[in-house]
Structure 1
Amino acid sequence: MPPKPAEKKPATTGGKAPATKVPSEKKKPAAPGEKVKKRKMRKETYSSYIYKVLKQVHPDTGISNKAMSIMNSFVNDIFERIAVEASKLAAYNKRSTISSREIQTAVRLILPGELAKHAVSEGTKASNTLRPYLAAVRSTLTAVLCLENFSSQIVERHNKPEVEARSSPEIVLNPLTISRNENEKVLIEPSINSIRISIKIKQADEIESILCHKFTRFMTLRAENFIILRRKPINGYDISFLITNFHMEQMYKHKLVDFIIQFMEEVDKEISEMKLSLNARA
């Protein structure tokens, strides 16, 4: 048979091949001797707060891990119910955020009479004491963090933080103490080119005093990583920070204030959790 003549095919407009879906690879099951990596799920825990309340009521009484898990699940369930009820009330009132009024109303709807009254009064009292304390510290820090370079009056080009050197008393301002109670207070010592902030952390008993000392010592040994942390605190206080005009040139003012306030909020929680784990091991 004679060969067939070559046929010319019309040119296609699109030069690209049609896209095809690549099937996703299925994860292979782990071998018998191989360990399976599990994702760590963060569970909300109220153990530190439960333990703190228990020690306030009965200082000499302990609590087992099983009892703590039962109490934790109970508190978590109550908080979830309060949050759901408060969100319904906020939606009914056509509000995008939940206010304290919705929370208080939800507590009164879920908890019995006297318990709801006590919970609302204690919650209001706690927020009313902590908020003004942190607000006073924040506003004071915002006001005094107006630092500038100041040339040394003794040796040329030997500028030092005047709040530490005390070489020129006329440029060191009056110190200010902000106190929440006798166990919690902040000392702020401003000057023209530096400011020193000393914090006294609440310590309810001897165990908390030891844990607070260990915690602050762990941080002060790594002071170079925190940049503004002082290696040795002022006498009568647990930890101190030193902010100079060079820090203000390198960092944002509001970020420094937020760091100090967040540290004050979190340090008490950290010590309570360490105390709880210590008692659980004991």
Structure 2
Amino acid sequence: MTNIFDSMRTGMINSIIDSFSGFDQYLSDSYTALTANVFSGNWAAIANSISGIIKPTATIICGICFLIEFLKITINGDVIKYEYLIRVFAKLCIAKASIDISTDALKFVFTTVSKWITQVSTDTITVGSQLATSAQTTLNDSNFGEVFAIWLSSCLFIFFLKIIGIMINVMGYARSFELTCVNSVAPLPFAFLCLDDGMGSGSRTFKNFAFVYIAICLRGLFMVISLSLFCKLAGSISFSDWTSGLSDLLVLSLVLLMALVKSDQWAGRLLTA
């Protein structure tokens, strides 16, 4: 009978420890998703394929914008003023060149932010292992009844921890999908650079696109910073008092989740402030 209880006690301890240790894999997968290079592999293949389809249309839009500008000069009787023609033609050349180098321009922004992200996330993720070690010490000193009570109280929280891990992964991959989609249609906003209706709508279209793209890249940086802070703070949690340890981890996990969700707003406010 004693052997049965010992086996059950060992099984419950291993279940709790494995759950904590497994959290490292969720965080590692999130870092992998956030640091994924969307300008290589399948990500780039998809974006380049769609961009290749869109570029001819973007070039036509660019030509139409040039024609509109030319007609405006003609109607206003400014056709004899060659400086206006040179200005419009220069804008056309800039817009056409921008369409051709749109991928390189976006890649430069992405690569710059990715370097920041990589520098922030250079440490090996061991927060789950640290939590497991702290929990192991407490559980080894507990009898069957205490271990059973701890295991029972931890089941819901461990399930919640797994849900958080999955959500972190989803948000990381969602950012990569969003970047790929934006990269695919990049030629379109570049095509409006030579359009000027007196209110700057053409340049505003491009500026809005640029701000959106930079915000998406910065969101990844803010997410990695949030994950790094969580790993530093959660790694110091002690389970000498099990209830207090779980409460601290729960609070940090909720704060992490809120920070990841808010990262989009933070990046947007940074650019529009």
TM interval, short-chain normalised: under 0.3
Specify which structure has the higher proportion of helix: 2
- TM-score normalized by the length of structure 1: 0.25
Greater CA radius of gyration, 1 or 2?
1
Specify which structure has the higher proportion of strand: 1
